[in-house]
Amino acid sequence: MDLPDFVRSGNQAVDPELYDIENEAIDRSGHVWDELERLAPWTGRVLLDLGCGSGFWLPRYQDAAKVIGVEPDTSLLHIAQGRTGKAQVLHGSAEHIPLPDDAVDVVHARFAYFFPTVDFDPTPGLLEVGRVLRPGGTLVVIDNDTEEGEFADLLKASSWATSQGQDIYARDWWRSKGARTTTVMSSWEFDSRGDLEAVLRLEFPEGVAGDWLETHPDRNHLSYGYLLHSWYQG
């Protein structure tokens, strides 16, 4: 399938193994997972992980009736397809989901596609999600909080990351679509300082990562705020 809208990710597609280490560091306290479960429980339901990347999170949905991953990047799709036998992993994108109407109960999009900015309007993806969600179904978009927490401080210092947009714009965009935004404060916790250093250098320009590492010499963790945008199919 030709997916002209798809933009290859600058982190996971560059180094999928290192991005696994980043994913392992995310939310070890489970605060984000608790909130996801509250907003859109998936036990016994059909769940779509949209923009699932290399499928790191697919095994986490063992309690779903069915798990589907959709990913546009064929290099990551291949890894995702081997992640768990429970998941069906399909080539597609937010704008082109290869599923029939009313096929799923819950959609999660984690750091994938839904980054509204003055230059990018993800309405086509939202319409497509609305098509595949059953009435009463829920989309939850997991995004960075660019205001609160130490990760937000790094984002503020980084020109790469700010191109993904600011909280106020994203919050207003989601509100205009009838969605609700909740905030969750969690953390990145790495097994080693080396892992933290490698991931910071993957995600941020050298000056930003280097400055943070120099001013926090004994740290393997940092606070990390999330925005969860939840949108209900009427």
Ligand X SMILES: C[S@@+](CC[C@H](N)C(=O)[O-])C[C@H]1O[C@@H](n2cnc3c(N)ncnc32)[C@H](O)[C@@H]1O
Footprint of ligand X (CB under 6 A): 5-7, 9, 11-12, 23, 50-53, 56-57, 71-73, 76, 93-95, 110-113
Least Å distance, CB 122 to ligand X, is 8
Least Å distance, CB 114 to ligand X, is 9
Structure tokens at 203: 């995600």
Separation between Cα atoms, residue 44 and residue 70, nearest integer Å:
20
Separation between Cα atoms, residue 155 and residue 208, nearest integer Å:
9
Closer CB to ligand X, 50 or 196, in the complex: 50
Least Å distance, CB 52 to ligand X, is 5
Closer CB to ligand X, 53 or 116, in the complex: 53
Least Å distance, CB 218 to ligand X, is 28
Least Å distance, CB 48 to ligand X, is 11
Our CA angle for 57, 183, 221, nearest 5°, is 65
Q: Are strands 133-144 and 104-110 parallel, antiparallel or unpaired?
A: parallel
Structure tokens at 51: 């923009």
Closer CB to ligand X, 130 or 219, in the complex: 130
Closer CB to ligand X, 5 or 63, in the complex: 5
Closer CB to ligand X, 46 or 58, in the complex: 58
Give the closest residue to 165 by CA, choosing from 121, 133, 132, 104.
Answer: 121
Least Å distance, CB 23 to ligand X, is 5
Least Å distance, CB 54 to ligand X, is 7
Alpha-carbon 127 to chain mean position: 19
160 touches 115 (CB < 8 A): no
Burial profile 119-149: b = 16 or more Cβ within 10 angstroms, e = fewer: eeebeebbebbbebbeeebbbbbbbbbbbbb
Closer CB to ligand X, 84 or 211, in the complex: 84
Closer CB to ligand X, 5 or 216, in the complex: 5
- Strand intervals (E) in the chain: 46-50, 66-71, 87-91, 104-110, 133-144, 180-189, 221-232
